[in-house]
């Protein structure tokens, strides 16, 4: 699936819910189900301290595709991290750089990615793009 298709899939899943609390239940579920973060990567340089919550992010290039791992100490943030990983992990640097992230807006979680929110997510998305740039440069 392309990044675009994955985003549409997420939007589809969330569209089932009218009520905020149901959406957040799903996020919590996604957060709980997220693959556990490799403790070896829980290091200072992988930490994004959003003041309200912490986010960890690790990235590796495997066969030309970026494999992201992420975590957060807040379960709702972790749920959003899970969505971001699902959409972006396993894609090439170019794909990641070319695609806009429109699903966050569409499913009504935009506020969590506002620069005035101090949950670490804005910085995380920036960091994911930065990894893509860096790996692209390395590949030449």
> What are the residues binding other proteins (CB under 8 A)?
20-21, 24-25, 28, 51-53, 73-77, 111, 114-119
Decide whether 36 or 137 has the Cβ nearer to other proteins. Answer: 36
Residue 70, SS3 per DSSP: strand
Angle between helices 3-15 and 75-88 (to 10 degrees): 140
Residue 101, SS3 per DSSP: coil
Q: How far apart are CA 95 and CA 83, in angstroms?
A: 17
Decide whether 65 or 117 has the Cβ nearer to other proteins. Answer: 117
Q: How far is the CB of 9 from other proteins (least distance, A)?
A: 24
Clarify whether 137 is annotated catalytic: no
Q: How far is the CB of 118 from other proteins (least distance, A)?
A: 5
Q: Which residue in this structure is represented by tokens 């994911």?
A: 128
Decide whether 43 or 52 has the Cβ nearer to other proteins. Answer: 52
Give Cα 90 to chain centroid, integer Å.
12
Q: How far is the CB of 52 from other proteins (least distance, A)?
A: 5
Catalytic pick from 51, 62, 137, 140? 51
Q: How far apart are CA 18 and CA 101, in angstroms?
A: 22
Which are the catalytic amino acids?
Answer: 51
């Amino acid at each position: 699936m392309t990044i675009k298709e994955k985003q549409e899939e997420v939007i589809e899943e969330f569209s089932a819910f009218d009520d905020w609390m149901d959406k957040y239940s799903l996020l919590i579920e996604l957060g709980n189900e997220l693959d556990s973060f490799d403790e070896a990567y829980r290091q200072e340089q992988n930490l994004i301290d959003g003041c309200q919550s912490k986010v960890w992010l690790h990235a590796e290039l495997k066969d030309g595709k970026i494999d992201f791992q992420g975590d957060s100490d807040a379960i709702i943030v972790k749920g959003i991290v899970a969505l971001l990983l699902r959409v972006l992990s396993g894609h090439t640097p170019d794909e990641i750089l070319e695609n806009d992230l429109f699903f966050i807006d569409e499913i009504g979680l935009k506020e969590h990615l506002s620069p005035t929110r101090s949950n670490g997510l804005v910085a995380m998305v920036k960091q994911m793009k930065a990894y893509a740039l860096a790996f692209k440069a390395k590949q030449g």
